[in-house]
C-alpha cells in the first residue's frame, strides 16, 4: 500500500500547473487582443487614407480603361483600382499585426503560416500588376489588328483581333501565375501544344479561304503606280474609265454602269491603256 501514488498530491500538482499556465497565458492573450485591435484600427485608417489619395490623383483612370475592354464589360463588373489597392494594403497590415499577435501567444505554427501569407502578398501584387499591363497590351494589339484588317479590307478582322487578344491574355495569365510562385510548367506545355495545333489549322484554312483577297492585295502594290484615276483602259472585253482604285479592286465607268474588277486581273490578263 505504501507504493501507491498519492492521488491527492498528483491532482494538486496538476491543477497548480494548469493554473500557472493559465496565469501565464492570460497576459499574452490580452496582449494579443490589444495588438489585434490596434492592427485593425491602423489597417482601416491607412486603407481609407490611401483610397482617398488614389482617387484624388486619378488612379482610377487606369481602371476605367480596363472597364472599357469588351471582355471585362461583358462580366458586368466595375474595376476600381483605388479600392483594390486599399483592400490589399488593409489585409497586408492586418496580417503583419496578426504575426505579432501570434508571436506574443507563442504559437509557432500559426506564426509561420501567417508569415508565409505576408511574404506571398508582394508576389500577388506583382502578379496583379503584370496581369493588368498584359490585359491593356492585349486589348491594344486587338484594336491594332482590327484596324489593319479594315485598312486592307481583310475579312474576319474582329475574329483575328479576338484571337490575338486571348492569345496574349493567356500568356499574361501564365506569366502572372509564375510571378506569384505557382508552378506553370504543365500549363505552359499544354498551352504550347494547343496553340501550335490551332495556328496550323487556322493558317491552312484561312490561307485557302483568303488566297484571292491576298492576291488582290499583293497586286495593288504593283498596279497603283501604273494605273490611276481618269485613265481609259480595256481589260479583255471590258472598256471604261478608272474612277477609283482601292486595295483589292478597280472600278471602271462603263457607260451608264460601273464594273468592279479584282486587281489580280491586271496581272493575269491583257490590259490596254488608251
What was the pLDDT predicted at 206? 55
CA distance 155 to 209: 10
- 36/134 same-domain check: yes
Same domain, 114 and 219: no
What pLDDT shows up at residue 45? 93
Residue 197 counted as domain residue: no
56 pLDDT above the threshold of 70: yes
- Asked if 217 and 172 sit in the same domain, the reply is no
Q: Is the pLDDT of residue 101 over 90?
A: no
Mean pLDDT for 49-58 is: 87
- Is 195 domain-assigned? no
The mean pLDDT value for 153-158 works out to 74
Q: Does 171 lie in the same domain as 64?
A: yes
User: Best-predicted range by mean pLDDT among 174-183, 186-195, 228-237, 263-272?
Assistant: 174-183
**Do 171 and 55 sit in the same domain of this protein?**
yes
Question: Do residue 33 and residue 166 come from a single domain?
Answer: yes
Q: How confident is the model at residue 1 (pLDDT cuts 50, 70, 90)?
A: very low
Pair 105, 232 in one domain = no
Q: According to the model, what pLDDT value does residue 203 have?
A: 64
Residue 46: its pLDDT value, please? 92
Higher pLDDT, 83 or 214: 83
As a whole number of angstroms, the distance between CA 228 and CA 231 comes to: 6
Give the separation between CA 262 and CA 106, rounded to whole angstroms: 82
Between 160 and 263, the higher pLDDT residue? 160
Q: Within a domain: residue 51?
A: yes
Q: Which residue has the higher pLDDT, 217 or 64?
A: 64
- Say whether both 40 and 172 belong to one domain: yes
d(CA 191, CA 199) in angstroms, rounded, equals 12
Question: Both 236 and 162 in a single domain?
Answer: no
Residues 105 and 229 in one domain: no
Q: Which structural domain range is residue 245 located in?
A: 213-273
Residue 259's DSSP bridge partners are 252
Residue 193 lies in a domain: no
Within the chain, residue ranges assigned H as helices are 7-56, 60-67, 70-74, 81-105, 108-151, 157-179, 185-209, 211-223, 265-268
Smallest CA-to-CA distance from 62 within 149, 119, 135 is with: 135
How many structural domains is the chain composed of?
2
26 in the same domain as 152? yes
Of 71-85, 156-170, 200-214, 224-238, the range with the highest mean pLDDT is 156-170
Calpha distance 129→63 (Å, rounded)? 12
| Residue 193 pLDDT | 75
pLDDT(129) > 60: yes
Measure the CA dihedral 140/145/146/148, to 10°: 120
Bigger pLDDT: 74 vs 99: 99
Residue 268 clears pLDDT 70, i.e. is over it: no
Phi, psi dihedrals of residue 251, rounded to the nearest 5° = -110, 125
Can you give the CATH number for the domain in which 236 is found?
2.30.30.60
Q: What is the 3-state secondary structure (H, E, C) of 20-71?
A: HHHHHHHHHHHHHHHHHHHHHHHHHHHHHHHHHHHHHCCCHHHHHHHHCCHH
The conformation of residue 234, written as its DSSP 8-state character, comes to: E
pTM comes to 0.58
Has residue 46 been placed in a domain? yes
For residue 50, being part of any structural domain is answered with: yes
Whether 221 is in a domain gets the answer: yes
Same domain flag for 125 and 261? no
Q: Of the given ranges (46-55, 183-192, 213-222), which has the lowest mean pLDDT? A: 213-222
Range of weakest confidence among 105-109, 163-167, 212-216, 234-238: 212-216
Confidence of residue 176 (pLDDT cuts 50, 70, 90): confident
Amino acid at each position: 500500500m505504501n507504493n501507491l501514488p498519492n492521488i491527492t498530491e498528483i491532482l494538486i500538482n496538476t491543477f497548480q500547473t494548469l493554473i500557472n499556465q493559465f496565469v501565464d497565458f492570460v497576459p499574452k492573450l490580452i496582449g494579443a487582443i490589444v495588438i489585434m485591435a490596434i492592427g485593425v484600427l491602423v489597417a482601416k485608417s491607412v486603407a481609407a487614407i490611401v483610397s482617398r489619395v488614389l482617387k484624388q490623383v486619378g488612379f482610377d483612370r487606369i481602371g476605367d480603361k480596363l472597364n472599357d475592354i469588351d471582355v471585362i464589360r461583358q462580366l458586368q463588373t466595375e474595376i476600381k483600382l483605388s479600392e483594390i489597392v486599399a483592400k490589399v494594403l488593409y489585409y497586408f497590415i492586418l496580417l503583419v499585426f496578426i504575426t505579432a499577435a501570434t508571436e506574443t501567444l507563442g504559437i509557432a505554427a500559426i506564426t509561420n503560416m501567417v508569415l508565409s501569407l505576408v511574404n506571398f502578398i508582394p508576389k500577388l501584387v506583382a502578379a496583379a500588376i503584370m496581369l493588368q499591363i498584359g490585359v491593356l497590351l492585349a486589348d491594344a494589339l486587338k484594336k491594332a489588328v482590327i484596324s489593319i484588317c479594315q485598312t486592307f479590307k481583310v475579312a474576319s478582322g474582329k475574329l483575328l483581333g479576338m484571337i490575338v487578344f486571348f492569345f496574349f491574355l493567356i500568356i499574361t495569365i501564365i506569366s502572372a501565375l509564375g510571378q506569384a510562385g505557382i508552378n506553370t510548367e504543365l500549363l505552359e506545355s499544354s498551352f504550347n501544344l494547343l496553340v501550335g495545333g490551332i495556328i496550323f489549322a487556322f493558317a491552312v484554312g484561312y490561307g485557302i479561304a483568303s488566297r484571292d483577297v491576298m492576291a488582290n492585295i499583293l497586286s495593288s502594290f504593283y498596279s497603283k503606280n501604273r494605273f490611276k484615276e481618269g485613265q481609259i483602259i480595256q481589260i479583255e472585253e471590258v472598256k471604261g474609265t478608272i474612277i477609283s482604285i482601292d486595295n483589292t479592286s478597280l472600278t471602271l465607268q462603263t457607260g451608264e454602269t460601273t464594273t468592279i474588277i479584282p486587281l489580280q486581273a491586271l496581272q493575269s490578263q491583257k490590259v490596254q491603256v488608251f
